[in-house]
Amino acid sequence: MALSEKSSSELSSFLQTQRTAYDELVAQGLKLDLTRGKPSAAQLDLSEELLSLPHGHAAADGTDVRNYGGLKGLTELREIFADLLGVEVDQIIAGGNSSLTVMYDTLVQCLLHGAVDSERPWSQEDKVRFICPVPGYDRHFVLLESLGIEMITVPMTQDGPDAAAIAELVKDDPSIKGMWVVPTYANPSGAVCTQEVAAALTSMPTAAPDFKIFWDNAYAFHHLTEEETKSADILSLAAASGHPHRPVVFASTSKITFAGAGVAFFAGSSETIAWFVGHLGKRSIGPDKINHLRHLQFFKNADGVREHMAKHRAIIAPKFAEVQRVLTERLGEHDVATWNDPAGGYFVNLDVIDGTASRVVELAKGAGIALTPAGASYPHGDDPVDGNIRLAPTMPPVEEVTAAMEAVATCVLVAAAEKYSNAT
Amino acid sequence: MALSEKSSSELSSFLQTQRTAYDELVAQGLKLDLTRGKPSAAQLDLSEELLSLPHGHAAADGTDVRNYGGLKGLTELREIFADLLGVEVDQIIAGGNSSLTVMYDTLVQCLLHGAVDSERPWSQEDKVRFICPVPGYDRHFVLLESLGIEMITVPMTQDGPDAAAIAELVKDDPSIKGMWVVPTYANPSGAVCTQEVAAALTSMPTAAPDFKIFWDNAYAFHHLTEEETKSADILSLAAASGHPHRPVVFASTSKITFAGAGVAFFAGSSETIAWFVGHLGKRSIGPDKINHLRHLQFFKNADGVREHMAKHRAIIAPKFAEVQRVLTERLGEHDVATWNDPAGGYFVNLDVIDGTASRVVELAKGAGIALTPAGASYPHGDDPVDGNIRLAPTMPPVEEVTAAMEAVATCVLVAAAEKYSNAT
């Protein structure tokens, strides 16, 4: 029976039962963590060979990778990820250990110098605004906030950002300079941006002549099922619709090899690459090409990456399955939450009754379960309905995922029963 | 006999002789390079063990260095470089592979957010200017140029920047927000900033309340003699003179281990570190801690770094000696050039007759010798007297250094003789 249909006395009894369960939970003194999308030690172990690579120190063209230079990164590694991301090798460069930093640098270049197709630096505009599909990735929002860029939210659908809403916003407002998308297995909704939505975003008229799609393909290869969803070919779509410089594409091996010591990639039109590298050359003499060679020797080729990702799937898919099992068994009958069953990525998006997300997180904390702060998936951490919670089950061992999710379910039920009790 | 004292016919004959020597040089079809301060393959080989490190993946406190986090870098590596640079461990952080990038990021933070002690972001000032001792490091000037910061030159003396000239400039002009110094074995003059000059720079009154000394200690440990010059203790001097936040200190292992895959360091007052890390945390989830652990296991401790630098010295000191020998033997008697004999660092500064530096570089190019463009050590590449040439002898094998320097000497003599011939 849905909780909302219970009588007042049924509700009271239900709340009592759940509070007892919660008290027992607290008494267990758990210390579990579902906050961050971090790989587990078992996943990191898959790349242990990297620690004793590379053998030798020469690139295919004889370049000594130990020395300075090579702003675009090791060509052979760029070739692998060009293949995987469906771009040309001259449309991609390999950088340091963090795609987040590359995103920041891209924004700073736009602010200080303007994008490749800007009339002037963005900092000379009266106002710069970005469209943020929500729920979305908190660090994207923090970047914008720290740079004084205003955020306008639009809904994230299961097919990607709400393209119609975006088209309506951007057509007359030149202050809207860009938007975020995590196109494949979005953080946190798991949504995959369809070819149709991507085509709508690349072709829509924008008042800003230099409108940018920040296409953060962080989970492009992070499949949780045997069906390996292909990302929309954003660069080709953009070129075909006459806006070749609109997308700037980010990716990394942070959740493929080592989260702290992977390789980040930046892709775009050849002109966008030249623009980026032109500014990059002022602040860098080149990336860590030894780490590039290390990754090249480890992967060997694009299939090496795909095979490696299948090993990740074998480790983390059971954890995601456990999240689904517990949520379904514990919450299904009560109609107090909805959640997605992602086909890839790192997160499960849990929507609870409006006004209870913060309470769930608070209750969980009281029971020793660390959850991402409610609202984290919204700009400024502000979820207008206080209903969204992001779950990250990759890091803990599966038995801890089970225990944590059982606890989360109890907290959701307590918060929901409290809410309905107060309302009646 | 000094070239300037030769009679017209003596000069004509001398020029003829040198032109013949130059033609023979061209006929040899040399292809030599003295342009960049890059380590040689033999130097890089000293760190070959790094390629198969680290063993294991745990920091001393148990942190898995493969995963995300640890914005300040591996504590144990910070401890080693705190020791070497004479700072406290909470005054230093370890970052990525490029101190140039850290300098850029520091400038961008100052522009977009203001320094730790700024009243407002530097970008909100009418004008931002920096003092640049010359000759200096070209990439420092390029950073400022790319960010729209104006440059004011002052002389670089053998004791460091001309502190009196700087004090006079900064005392009344609040638009002067900072200055560059390469304090130890400066690029390119080899000068070492004395404790007295450092004290004058840290204590001088400045109209800008947030004046910054960008202290790029790139060659702190790069001794060419057995006397290991100690860098001035800039942070202590600054704190003692009541300006603790004035210095921002940069260093790296780029010319200690691998030029492209070392570790960069940023140091300053504890408040400066907090300021830097606060902004860093928006754009990064942490540096490559595996590379930190790799360097830690390789060096073991501060003495490990010192012993390692002695091996570098054994390789490159003979090259610097060869530069001195050829310049002295070939140019000494003619009084057409002066040069320094650096006790450390990566460069020899060659001052030729005013108006001939570009011609020397042009002649050298014609003979297959790549030299850094004349004027490179001045803002915008503009040496007002066209007299300065930077020589970088570390990369080529010693026999190539000899051949290249013989060629350079011939070019200097041709250019000088041409100059005096035209003048008479």
From the CA of A358, how many Å to the nearest CA of chain B?
Answer: 24
Among all residues of chain B, which has the CA nearest to that of A45? B66
- Under an 8 A CB cutoff, do A36 and B101 touch? no
Residue B51's Cβ-count burial label (10 Å; 0-12, 13-18, 19+) is: buried
From the CA of B147, how many Å to the nearest CA of chain A?
Answer: 7
Amino acid at B396: P
A254 touches B at CB < 8 Å: yes
User: How far apart are alpha carbons A253 and B357 in whole angstroms?
Assistant: 48
Interface of A with B in 405-424 (CB under 8 A): none
Residue B232's Cβ-count burial label (10 Å; 0-12, 13-18, 19+) is: buried
A278 touches B at CB < 8 Å: no
Reply yes or no on whether the pLDDT at B200 is more than 60: yes
User: How far apart are alpha carbons B367 and A297 in whole angstroms?
Assistant: 40
* Cβ-based contacts of B283 with chain A (< 8 Å): 98, 100-101, 103-105, 143, 146
A29 touches B at CB < 8 Å: no
- Under an 8 A CB cutoff, do A57 and B44 touch? yes
User: Residue A406: in which H helix or E strand, if any?
Assistant: helix A398-423
- Pick among B72, B290, B395 to test the A interface (most A CBs inside 10 A): B290
- Under an 8 A CB cutoff, do B96 and A65 touch? no
From the CA of A28, how many Å to the nearest CA of chain B?
Answer: 26
B167 touches A at CB < 8 Å: no
Interface of B with A in 179-238 (CB under 8 A): none
> Three-state SS for A92?
strand
- Under an 8 A CB cutoff, do B44 and A65 touch? no
Residue B170's Cβ-count burial label (10 Å; 0-12, 13-18, 19+) is: buried
- Under an 8 A CB cutoff, do B65 and A260 touch? yes
Question: What ipTM does the predicted assembly reach?
Answer: 0.97
* Cβ-based contacts of B41 with chain A (< 8 Å): 64
From the CA of B320, how many Å to the nearest CA of chain A?
Answer: 20
Pairing state between β A264-267 and B212-216: unpaired
* Cβ-based contacts of B286 with chain A (< 8 Å): 98, 260
- Under an 8 A CB cutoff, do A36 and B68 touch? yes
Q: What are phi and psi of B265, to 5 degrees?
A: -125, 150
From the CA of B102, how many Å to the nearest CA of chain A?
Answer: 8
B165 touches A at CB < 8 Å: no
Cβ atoms within 10 A of the Cβ of B424, count? 11
Place of tokens 């530097």: B122
Arithmetic mean of pLDDT, B152-173:
98
User: How far apart are alpha carbons A5 and A10 in whole angstroms?
Assistant: 9
Token pair listed for A358: 């913060």
Place of tokens 């109890």: A410
B278 touches A at CB < 8 Å: no
A142 touches B at CB < 8 Å: yes
Among all residues of chain A, which has the CA nearest to that of B46? A66
Per-residue DSSP letter, B15: H
Alpha carbon dihedral A407, A410, A412, A417, in 10-degree steps, equals -160
B68 touches A at CB < 8 Å: yes
Token pair listed for B200: 């004058």
Closest CA to A410 of A26, A5, A11, A150: A26
The confidence score (pLDDT) of residue A314 equals 98
Token pair listed for A303: 């299939």
Of A65, A143, A254, the CB nearest to B283: A143
- Pick among A122, A143, A283 to test the B interface (most B CBs inside 10 A): A283
Peptide bond into B209 cis (omega under 30): no
- Under an 8 A CB cutoff, do B259 and A53 touch? no
Of B38, B68, B143, the CB nearest to A259: B68
User: Residue B389: in which H helix or E strand, if any?
Assistant: strand B388-391
* Cβ-based contacts of A258 with chain B (< 8 Å): 66-67, 290
The confidence score (pLDDT) of residue A1 equals 85
From the CA of B44, how many Å to the nearest CA of chain A?
Answer: 7
In which region does residue A70 sit, left (phi positive, over 0), alpha (psi from -120 to 50) or beta (all else)? left
| Architecture of the CATH domain A63-300 | 3-Layer(aba) Sandwich (3.40)
B277 touches A at CB < 8 Å: no
Interface of A with B in 31-60 (CB under 8 A): 36, 38-39, 41, 44, 47, 51-55, 57
The confidence score (pLDDT) of residue A235 equals 98
- Pick among B97, B255, B297 to test the A interface (most A CBs inside 10 A): B97
- Pick among B45, B66, B103 to test the A interface (most A CBs inside 10 A): B66
pLDDT per residue rounded down to tens, chain A (424 residues)? 899 999 999 999 999 999 999 999 999 999 999 998 899 999 999 999 999 999 999 999 999 999 999 999 999 999 999 999 999 999 999 999 999 999 999 999 999 999 999 999 999 999 999 999 999 999 999 999 999 999 999 999 999 999 999 999 999 999 999 999 999 999 999 999 999 999 999 999 999 999 999 999 999 999 999 999 999 999 999 999 999 999 999 999 999 999 999 999 999 999 999 999 999 999 999 999 999 999 999 999 999 999 999 999 999 999 999 999 999 999 999 999 999 999 999 999 999 999 999 999 999 999 999 999 999 999 999 999 999 999 999 999 999 999 999 999 999 999 999 999 987 5
The confidence score (pLDDT) of residue B424 equals 56
- Under an 8 A CB cutoff, do B260 and A289 touch? yes
Max CA distance (Å), chain A: 79
A30 touches B at CB < 8 Å: no
- Under an 8 A CB cutoff, do B57 and A36 touch? no
Interface of A with B in 70-109 (CB under 8 A): 70, 96-98, 100-101, 103-105, 108
Arithmetic mean of pLDDT, B183-188:
97
Contacts of B219 (CB under 8 A, 6+ apart): B182, B184, B185, B186, B187, B255, B344, B345, B346
* Cβ-based contacts of B123 with chain A (< 8 Å): 123
Token pair listed for B206: 């400045």
Among all residues of chain B, which has the CA nearest to that of A58? B41
Of A39, A69, A282, the CB nearest to B146: A282
CA atoms lying within 13 Å on the CB side of residue B82: 19
* Cβ-based contacts of B260 with chain A (< 8 Å): 65-70, 285-290
Q: Where are the domains of chain B?
A: 3-43+307-423, 63-300
- Under an 8 A CB cutoff, do B260 and A112 touch? no
* Cβ-based contacts of B44 with chain A (< 8 Å): 57, 64, 66-67
E-state strands within A184-336: 212-216, 247-252, 264-267
> pTM of the prediction?
0.97
From the CA of B29, how many Å to the nearest CA of chain A?
Answer: 23
pLDDT of B243-289, one tens digit each? 999 999 999 999 999 999 999 999 999 999 999 999 999 999 999 99
Of B44, B52, B97, the CB nearest to A52: B52
Task: Specify whether domain B3-43+307-423 bears CATH 2.40.50.100.
Answer: no
Reply yes or no on whether the pLDDT at B26 is more than 60: yes
- Asked if the domains B3-43+307-423 and B63-300 are classified in one and the same CATH topology, the answer is no
Peptide bond into B54 cis (omega under 30): yes
